[in-house]
């Protein structure tokens, strides 16, 4: 257990530090948002570029991992939709629940944990997770959110295209795609350039955790607590359970062959709390209260659930 705490304690220590410096007024909430923009728009793109540009494409592209992780995510969307429907949740809150149950924070929380648990594969795991999440899971959840709001004026295909185009404009996706292009053509990069991107990439891990902690200060904690509790449970337990089920089923059928590290990483990736922009997206629906409670609950409760997953998987 001491080895497990050696992984999770630094992660949650940095999150607690971020919460403390904002709660004490040493940093303003607006300054944390600025630091978050730096991580999303500079540090993470550099990290993802480095992760794939410096490796052969065969080492980067792991279709078995992506299939298991993606299928588990799709199963979570379907399961969460059924569970929230059975609960009698209205369409907007149901879509909010599905997104919170399915979209993990692998950029800010998952990567630092993988860096400690699987240091040799951490960058590749992050790249694979973000590919599946940003090309498949997040767009599907956004479609559910938009469909529930009834604000969509354009055709479904045009709307899907607009969402995917917005995803492709994200700096971290651009960094990932550029890295894949360099890996594909196998062009050696100048050493000064790789040192620059490596230096920027190194700043992502610790700073992202401090930003997560700071973003938890001042969240509006009025809303449907029952809905928030169900979102938290589905995100932290059902999502990783379904990814584990997908990996085991596909392996039993002989369709994939995951190494033990990648098998464990897929389950752990799904066990992360929901991504940081969850409350921002919920504001558009007027549901930021329930989303804030769910994110705070999932982020804090994950200290227990992640320790348990790490205990059994590593």
How confident is the model over 199-247, as pLDDT tens digits?
Answer: 998 888 888 999 999 888 888 777 678 888 999 999 999 999 999 999 9
DSSP bridge partners of 274: 104
Name the band, by pLDDT with cuts 50, 70 and 90, for residue 302. very high
CA distance to 65, 239, 240, 259, per residue, from 253 (Å): 15, 21, 20, 16
Mean pLDDT, the chain, integer: 89
pLDDT digits (tens, 9 = 90+) for 1-49: 677 888 888 999 999 999 999 999 999 988 888 998 899 899 999 998 9
Q: Count CB-CB contacts under 10 A for residue 146.
A: 17
pLDDT digits (tens, 9 = 90+) for 238-272: 999 999 999 999 999 999 999 999 999 999 999 99
301, 303, 305, 310: CA torsion to nearest 10: 170
User: What span, in angstroms and rounded, lies between the C-alpha atoms of 66 and 129?
Assistant: 8
Distance of CA 279 to the CA centre of its chain: 14
Please, what are the domains in the chain?
2-313 (1.20.1530.20)
Which residues neighbour 92 within 8 Å (Cβ) at sequence distance 6 or greater?
Answer: 145, 148, 149, 285, 287
Amino acid 57: pLDDT:
82
Name the band, by pLDDT with cuts 50, 70 and 90, for residue 156. low
End-to-end CA gap in the chain: 11
pLDDT digits (tens, 9 = 90+) for 93-147: 999 999 999 999 998 899 999 999 999 899 999 999 998 998 899 989 988 887 7
């Amino acid at each position: 257990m001491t080895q497990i705490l050696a992984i999770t304690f630094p992660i949650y220590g940095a999150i607690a530090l971020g919460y403390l410096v904002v709660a004490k007024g040493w940093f303003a909430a607006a300054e944390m948002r600025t630091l978050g923009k730096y991580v999303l728009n500079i540090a993470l793109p550099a990290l993802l570029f480095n992760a794939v540009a410096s490796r052969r494409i065969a080492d980067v592209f792991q279709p078995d991992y992506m299939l298991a992780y993606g299928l588990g995510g799709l199963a979570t969307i379907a399961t969460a939709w059924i569970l929230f429907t059975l609960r009698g949740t209205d369409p907007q809150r149901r879509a909010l629940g599905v997104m919170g149950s399915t979209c993990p924070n692998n950029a800010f929380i998952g990567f630092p944990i993988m860096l400690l648990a699987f240091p040799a594969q951490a960058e590749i795991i992050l790249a694979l997770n973000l590919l599946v999440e940003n090309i498949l899971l997040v767009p599907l959840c956004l479609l559910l959110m938009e469909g529930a709001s009834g604000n969509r004026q354009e055709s479904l295909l045009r709307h899907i295209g607009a969402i995917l185009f917005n995803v492709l404009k994200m700096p971290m996706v651009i960094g990932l795609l550029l890295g894949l292009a360099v890996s594909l053509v196998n062009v050696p990069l100048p050493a000064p350039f790789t040192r620059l991107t490596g230096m920027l990439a190194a700043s992502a891990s610790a700073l992202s955790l401090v930003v997560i902690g700071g973003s938890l200060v001042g969240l509006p904690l009025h809303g449907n607590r029952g809905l928030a509790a169900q979102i938290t449970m589905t995100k932290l337990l059902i999502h990783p359970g379904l990814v584990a089920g997908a990996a085991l089923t596909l392996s039993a059928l002989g369709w994939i062959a995951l190494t033990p590290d990648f098998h464990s990483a897929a389950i752990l990736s799904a066990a992360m709390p929901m991504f940081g922009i969850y409350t921002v997206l919920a504001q558009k629906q007027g549901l930021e209260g329930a989303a804030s409670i769910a994110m705070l609950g999932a982020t804090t409760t994950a200290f227990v659930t992640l320790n348990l997953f790490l205990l059994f998987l590593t």
